[in-house]
Structures are given as structure tokens and as C-alpha cells.
Structure 1
């Protein structure tokens, strides 16, 4: 671990000087968890997010000394898990603080290494995370437990339009063939009941391996012969083969919808997801 994080001495020093009576601070690995955390925690709690740059490929992230400083003093740490952000568990292990609490979101919904890690697009994920967060905050700060529970109820209600939108789209999109360069939006596509094609290609791109020639040929055939109604493209992570499929889709006039792995700046989680759903609905014609 020292070889991976040679600057950890500073973080360890900060960790030993942090006091349990400090104000509550939350550090989230990804900004969509940070956004939801702020909605539940309210203005009195400081929330920061590590991955928040929409131009950065999350798969290429490397932790820095500033990340260690934030983690060393955090009351509560939130990260995705399912091997999406393994650097986070490494840092937590290297910066021990007995009183610090941790929420691994994948554990809340039973996802593990080998599963599609893009779980924030699963409709069940954020309700589970918000509930777990409210419980942790209530334990850390019992005097304001009622406030956390009230904000949780408000957040849960704010998700109702998203669930209604998914249900509405499913009546039209169930069984409709779609494809993607990566399984970023996979859980939502499942919730919509679509037939997701070229999954072996998607997994290869996500894992940084070379898709087989037959997988590439099948993907190209789907696009050229309009066997799919839309292409979902990971607009945040570049890959030569994925870019080739994007170009081919445009040439064949197959609708393309971009999906990101980081919440766009200046938006809320609810608006971000609703925007993606609206884009899918508009792309797939009646």
C-alpha cells in the first residue's frame, strides 16, 4: 500500500488529530451519491465528491493527496463498490479511523464484483442508499434525526415521477431491441423491458478487453440493418471500437443517446435521470 500511496503519512497524521466531536462531514466517491447525500443531510452537513468532472473517465481515476486529506477527516464515506471504485477501499484501509462510518452502495442492493457496477441507474439503488444514509446520520446526530427522516421522505417522493416515467415508457418499449457501447445504462434498460443486444461486446469494452470478431460483426450488422431502435453511447469514456460503432450508427441513421457516468454539473440526480429517460423516449419512435 505504501508503494501505491507514498503520501499517506500526511493523511494518517490528519486522521489521528481529527476529533469525534467535529461537525459531520461526508465524502462520496461519485458526485451522484454526493448530491443525494446533501439532499438527505441538509445544509448543516458538509458533503464533498471525489469524481465530479464530466470530462474525466472514471475508470482512469488516480487518487491524490487531496483525496486522502478529505477521507482522513470524514465522518461518513460513501462509495459505489462492486469493483467500480476499488481505489476507495484501498484508501479507507490505509487511513484507519475507528469512528468513521462507511456505506458501500452495492452491498445495499446485493451487487458484487462481476455484476454490472453502474448501479446508480438501477431504480432500486438510490432509495436504498437514501434510507441507509438517513439511518447513519440519525445515529451520528440523534438530535436531528427527525430532520433526516423528513428529508428522506421528501427525497423518496421526488423519485415518484421517475418511477412513473419508467412505467409509462415500459408500456411502449418492452421487447424493443436496443444496443449500447457499454452497459452504463443497462439497469434502466432492463427496467424499461427492452431487449438489450450485443452484451458480450459491451462487457468487453467496459472491462478494457478486445471484443471478439463475431461480436463486432454482430454489432455492425445490427446497426447497418436497423435491427436495433437506438444506440446508447457512453459519452464519458472513449474507446476506439465504441467510437466506430457510434460513427456507424450515425451513418445508418440509428438514433444515438449519450449516457454519462458522472452527474452533469449544476443538476440534481432526479433531473439527470429524468433527462436520460426523456432522451430514450424521444429517440425510440412509436
Structure 2
């Protein structure tokens, strides 16, 4: 019963709702409330603040949640390992991803993985790089697709170099060139993407001391490309994002080898099922 209470408590925290947690766990609202209250009574602590907007953790609850999350992860790992020892591949993997990976890599990964391991479920959460990394670090996700950087608190497995390209309108004079020098960018207005998508570009500009004039800040790839197409500015995007770039746009390589590195972020104790997922991903996409 204690393990179930941990599971219920964790789900309430993650969904920030007793009702939603009950629906996902197939429990009544009163059953969820009773499980959480029983855990609070056992520990002698108030773990949740309940209000009309849902629930959130108390200061004590934040510390307890990290422990209950670790306990449930270890419990699930134990069950997966026991099944594997019996020759049965079961379990669940929680994977973080970002939009271009979701669109261009994940369908093949899931198809291949489910062919080999039909009894292992994959749950996908799409968000910003920094966010999914934090979820892996806390134990809420098993692994995530992310970008190489010098500031990581999780293990990083490099997979592939993804070229950074300058995209311009076919009406822009730069579109006549085969390659672009970084210094040329200073003469054109920049359409900047939202923070997490622009991390690698900021690193690039800082490294080569390039100062660009930001004309627009856009959160949507489609909107940004539409503005570039109308020759309202230029943008720097990874090659993967430009897989299906529309007519009227030209993607041009730089005269330097400029790229980001896509990889997998994992915690230091990956489950049996997570190791299987990592193996599938590296078989399909690892080139470095």
C-alpha cells in the first residue's frame, strides 16, 4: 500500500490535480485524497496546498517528492530488471523531446522500438531543451533529446552534428551566394527565434563576436519562416528544422563548419527499458 501511496502522490504533484491523477490512475477522487492524506499522516507533514486552481507542494512536500520519485523509479527499475531476467521485456519509458526531433526522428524510433520491444510503453513529453533536461535531472523523465552545452547536470550521449544554416528569402542578395561569411550577417536584420531554439546561435555569435540587429522575435518556426520568405530579415536555423522548407526560402551554408550536436540526456541510473531505448536511438542516428 505504501508504494501505491507514493505513486498516487507523485501523480498528483505532476498533474497538479487530484481529479486528473484519479482519472489517470483509475481511482476515485476520494481514493486519491485518502492516499495522500494517509501519507501525510504517516510522515506527520503537510505535503500539499489545496486550492481552487489545483494543488502545489509545500516546502516539506518538495523534499518528500524527490524521495518518493526516486523510490518509484527504483521500484520500476526493479520490476523491469526482474522481467528481463525472466526473458520478458516490459516497462515504461518517459522521454523528453523537442519539436524537430518529434517530427523527423521520433516516428521511426518508436516504430523500430515497438517492433523489437512491443511490451515496453513510451510516453513522450515535448518541451524546451532546458525544461526536459531538468525533468531528467529530477527523475521525472528517463531520458531526453537535447543539445550539447557546457552546462549540464546529466550525462550526455552525442548522436549527430546538425549544421547551422542561414535562411534568406530568394529575393535577398545573399541567396545568390554558395556560402556566407558570418561577418556578412551584420548587414541584415535578424528574425530571432524564442530562447531555447536560439541557444546555439547565441553561442555562435558570441564565439565569433558578431553583433546582429534583432528586428523581430518569433516563437513559431512557421511564422519566422513566413517573415524570412517576405524578405523582412534573415535567420539561422539547424538543418533538421529546415527539412521541409517551403519555396521562396534558401538555406545557405556558412564558410566555416558550424553546427550543433544533438544527443540524448540521461540520468546516472538508467532503467533496463531506458537502456533498450538508448540502444535503438544510437543504432538509428548516432554518427559521432
TM-score by length of 1: 0.31
Which structure dedicates a bigger proportion of its chain to strand? 2
Larger radius of gyration between Structure 1 and Structure 2: 2
TM-score by length of 2: 0.30
Highest RCO, 1 vs 2 (Cα 8 Å, sep ≥ 6): 2
